[in-house]
């Protein structure tokens, strides 16, 4: 089970020490406000500890050298570059028993904090929340991620056979802008389809509305917020 750090402001040495003790660790957002987390620390070991969930592989979408969004699998045998750009979407960890823990990101950066024999310590950070998903798919984070991916898929179909064009656009999108676009698009969609009134989605709708209000209070909500359609659709 993931544990939260007491403070998001930790130095690299503190993160390395935490990575020695855990398989993965979620960093809270500043001041503990809002949904999700600001970062994810992942410890991939050649030999599992047997004391907790021991990730062996990290599967996520990264921007490649051609500027395209590309799925990659990282392990102690396949390591990342010093800094990698993470593209929006779901990503997940697998252990040796193929148990899977899933997350969703609006984009960010990934870098190795420690690379030595038997251990690869990775840090994923983002200016947008990182969402931890559940097997039951019933949490606020699950609803938000699922609706965002559904809207992304609808836009993807507009590219027709030009998958490379869509992958290039997805790889270029700014993480914070995409986070704002997701909030705007999902809130509008739920409101227009009356899902905001449904028992299964009402709590999630209110939580996303509070997330938007938090950004407004911090002066971070744009006067003309983007939408997923606006950011990802072909020109």
Are residues 69 and 105 in contact, defined by beta-carbon separation less than 8 angstroms?
A: no
Question: Averaging pLDDT over each range in 28-32, 33-37, 219-223, which range is the top one?
Answer: 219-223
Confidence of residue 229 (pLDDT cuts 50, 70, 90): very high
Are residues 82 and 123 in contact, defined by beta-carbon separation less than 8 angstroms?
A: no
Higher pLDDT, 186 or 5: 186
pLDDT tens, position by position, 169-201: 999 999 999 999 999 999 999 999 988 788 888
pTM: 0.91
Residue ranges of domains in the chain: 12-132, 140-232
- The whole-angstrom separation of Cα 191 and Cα 208 is 12
- The whole-angstrom separation of Cα 130 and Cα 88 is 10
C-alpha angle 160-92-145 in degrees, rounded to nearest 5: 60
| Mean pLDDT over the full length of the chain | 91
pLDDT tens, position by position, 123-145: 999 999 999 999 988 999 999 99
pLDDT of 9 above 70: no
């Amino acid at each position: 089970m993931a544990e939260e750090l007491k403070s998001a402001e930790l130095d690299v040495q503190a993160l390395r020490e935490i990575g020695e003790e855990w398989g993965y660790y979620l960093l809270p957002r500043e001041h503990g406000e809002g949904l999700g987390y600001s970062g994810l620390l992942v410890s991939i070991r050649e030999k599992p500890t047997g004391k907790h969930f021991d990730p062996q592989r990290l599967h996520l979408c990264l921007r490649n050298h051609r500027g395209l969004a590309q799925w990659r699998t990282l392990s102690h045998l396949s390591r990342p570059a010093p800094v990698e750009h993470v593209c929006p979407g779901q990503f997940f960890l697998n252990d040796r028993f193929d148990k899977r823990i899933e997350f969703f990101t609006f984009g960010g950066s990934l870098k190795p904090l420690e690379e030595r024999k038997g251990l690869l310590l990775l840090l994923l950070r983002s200016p947008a929340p990182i969402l931890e998903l559940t097997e039951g798919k019933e949490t606020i984070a699950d609803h938000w991620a699922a609706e965002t991916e559904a809207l992304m898929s609808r836009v993807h179909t507009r590219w027709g056979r030009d998958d490379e064009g869509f992958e290039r656009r997805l790889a270029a999108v700014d993480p914070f802008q995409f986070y704002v676009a997701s909030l705007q698009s999902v809130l509008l969609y739920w409101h227009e389809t009356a899902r905001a009134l449904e028992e299964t989605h009402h709590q999630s709708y209110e939580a996303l509305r509070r997330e938007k209000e938090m950004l407004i209070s911090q002066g971070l909500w744009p006067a003309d917020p983007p939408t997923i359609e606006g950011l990802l659709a072909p020109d």
